[in-house]
């Protein structure tokens, strides 16, 4: 999948996630391949999410995850993800998110409790958006650009596990990039400085 397509897909999922979080509801989006069982009969045929964000939002509000292919096609909704471990102080949605984030999968989890949208990859939280921050939608593209410029692989190695509090760096209002603040500052200064 082309980087530009993945970037647009991430942006769309964060936008939908922020709408859901603002209402105090939760959701789980998994982009990639994962093992699941559906909790409901799949009466909605697969569709490209960019073509119908309202339908995607409605499906995300059901129990279970929305599974999306890397080309942006909704494959399943109301999907039960088998969790490989339970996370203390977190619910089943976060446990499923960590389990589904293995490999090349991208996971977007929307927390109803704290109204945050989290980006998880390789079992680590890379970025968090605060749905209650005014105009946070305006920062989505810039935040995704930060992920690309630093490299999600780099952030994945220094990102924070949900179990271990990590240091976060706030580069944009309402957006936290997780990992060692010192290391992130060094990497960002080095990589972003080359672009000038």
Could you read off the pLDDT of 7-22 as tens digits, one per residue?
A: 889 999 999 999 999 9
Query: How far is the C-alpha of 130 from the C-alpha of 11, rounded, in Å?
Result: 15
Specify the DSSP class assigned to residue 119. E
Asked if the model's pLDDT at residue 24 lies above 70, the reply is yes
Asked if the model's pLDDT at residue 31 lies above 70, the reply is yes
- Is the Cβ–Cβ distance between 162 and 94 less than 8 Å? yes
Condensed to tens digits (0 to 9), the pLDDT of residues 108-162 reads 999 998 899 998 888 877 888 888 888 878 777 777 766 665 544 444 444 444 4
Asked if the model's pLDDT at residue 178 lies above 80, the reply is no
Query: How far is the C-alpha of 61 from the C-alpha of 65, rounded, in Å?
Result: 9
* Per-residue model confidence (pLDDT) at position 142: 72
Report which of residues 6 and 67 the model is more confident about: 67
Cα three-residue angle 128-132-134, rounded to 5 degrees: 105
Which distant-in-sequence residues (6+ apart) come within 8 Å of 73 by Cβ?
46, 47, 48, 49
* Per-residue model confidence (pLDDT) at position 179: 54
- Is the Cβ–Cβ distance between 18 and 136 less than 8 Å? yes
Please state which architecture CATH assigns to domain 3-194: 3-Layer(aba) Sandwich (3.40)
* Per-residue model confidence (pLDDT) at position 182: 41
Length of the chain equals 196
Condensed to tens digits (0 to 9), the pLDDT of residues 53-94 reads 999 999 999 999 999 999 999 999 999 998 776 666 667 787
Average pLDDT over residues 101-113: 89
Query: How far is the C-alpha of 40 from the C-alpha of 117, rounded, in Å?
Result: 25
């Amino acid at each position: 999948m082309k980087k530009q397509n993945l970037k647009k897909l991430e942006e769309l999922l964060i936008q939908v996630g922020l709408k859901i979080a603002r209402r105090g509801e939760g959701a789980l989006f998994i982009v990639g391949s994962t093992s699941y069982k559906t909790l409901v009969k799949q009466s909605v045929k697969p569709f490209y999410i960019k073509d119908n964000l309202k339908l995607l939002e409605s499906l995300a509000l059901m129990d279970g995850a929305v599974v999306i292919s890397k080309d942006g096609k909704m494959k399943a909704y109301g999907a039960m993800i088998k969790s490989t471990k339970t996370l203390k102080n977190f619910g089943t949605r976060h446990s499923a998110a960590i389990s589904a984030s293995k490999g090349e999968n991208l996971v977007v989890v929307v927390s109803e409790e704290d109204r945050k949208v989290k980006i998880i990859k390789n079992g680590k939280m890379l970025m968090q958006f605060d749905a209650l921050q005014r105009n946070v939608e305006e920062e989505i593209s810039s935040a995704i650009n930060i992920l690309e410029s630093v490299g999600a692989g780099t952030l994945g190695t220094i990102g924070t596990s949900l179990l271990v509090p990590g240091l976060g760096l706030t580069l944009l209002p309402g957006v936290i990039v997780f990992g060692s603040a010192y290391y992130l500052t060094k990497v960002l200064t080095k990589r972003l400085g080359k672009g000038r």
